[in-house]
Amino acid sequence: MLGEIHCTQLVGAALLLAVIFYAAFDFLLGQKGRIRITGSSYLRLALLAGIVLSGALIVIKNFPYVHFSDGLIIGVNLFHIGMAMALLVMNLLCLTMKKRWTVST
């Protein structure tokens, strides 16, 4: 059971990173002059960056010869979950207030 949950989390993380990189390259290479990022999008991008960075620390702590203190592991896990919940709330607020990620220039 635990192995299935861990595998599902890894697949979800890989999909999230793929979508983030696709959107970033699409914006930087194809749409940069025609659209701009909104203010609420900068906050959502900061939350995504926090999720990715804390997720990277979680992956690093799983390496066999890397040892973090118990307090740091708990703090990183709580930060990761908190950022994910904040992103969920932010996306729900943006959905209800009809805030978009980008606007045309």
Global pTM exceeds 0.85: no
Domain residue extents for the chain? 2-104
Tens place of pLDDT per residue across the chain (105 aa) = 445 556 777 777 778 888 888 877 777 677 666 777 788 888 988 998 999 899 888 888 878 888 889 999 999 999 999 999 999 999 999 999 888 776 666
Contact 86, 47 (CB under 8 A): yes
- Position 13 scores a pLDDT of 77
Burial of 73 (0-12, 13-18, 19+ CB in 10 A): middle
Q: What span, in angstroms and rounded, lies between the C-alpha atoms of 34 and 42?
A: 18
